[in-house]
Structure 1
Amino acid sequence: MSRILADVNVPEEYVSVLRGDGHDVVYSREISTLGPEATDDAIVEYAASEGMAIITTDVKDFAD
């Protein structure tokens, strides 16, 4: 089972499918230290510190 941090722009359908497959998926907006306005850097830092993968549909900002 993977631990995944979903960026705020990820459609609920994607998260539902991943959860249905047994993955532990949480939206970044649900993390009290991040919230809905978290920066990309904060999301990456949090995911790295928690050993989580990131899923996003925001290729412009995360492409680097």
Structure 2
Amino acid sequence: MTLIIAGEKKEYAEGTTVAQLIAAEKISDPQSVSVSINEEFLRSNQYGSHVLKDGDEIEFLYFMGGGC
């Protein structure tokens, strides 16, 4: 199936979960990443069970704190 990850089309096997995608994409610090699928955020406790579908658009977002 074709997934669009950060604007780039990539091929993955049918049945790929978000957790498997995070591992395959070698996401640094997966505990701190938020995942948006088709512009909707997914809860981190669903990463292992949410199966991606052909054409899904995925964004990995990192929220960083900071200030002066």
**TM-score with structure 2 length normalisation?**
0.29
Which is helix-richer, 1 or 2?
1
Which is strand-richer, 1 or 2?
2
For the pair shown, the structure with the greater C-alpha radius of gyration is 2
**TM-score with structure 1 length normalisation?**
0.30
